[in-house]
Amino acid sequence: MYDEECKRTSIGGGWVKSFAGFYALLYIRANPDSSGYDICKHVKEKYGCNLSYSRVYPLLNTLNNEGFISMKKEESSYPPKKVYKLTEEGHQRIKRFRDSLFMMLDEFME
């Protein structure tokens, strides 16, 4: 069961990338119409860490291509700003990832 859940949520495939994707989904859920810049700025202000744009934008492109977020361009800014919203699939992804984390915590708390 645990192995299947890890495969389904990609936790086993790359912890840092999976967690970064999970964080991005959570941030976008709480802050619709956010950009990659907004995520990087938030991480810097909240945690004092620099999150590289060269990592965030490919991650957002992947999440968009996989259907977890949707992207639109705000033409009112120059260059046009890409902003993201969580899709229903994104909500389900958060739930699966959260459930996987709880399963792991339960394993170590026993």
CATH architecture assignment, domain 2-109: Orthogonal Bundle (1.10)
3-class SS of residue 84: strand
3-class SS of residue 109: helix
Nearest to residue 32, comparing CAs of 91, 80, 75? 91
Residue 60: the pLDDT is 96
Residue 15: the pLDDT is 62
Higher pLDDT, 62 or 9: 62
Which run of H or of E encompasses 70?
strand 69-74
pTM: predicted TM-score of the whole model, two decimal places: 0.79
Per-residue pLDDT tens digits for 32-49: 999 999 999 999 999 898
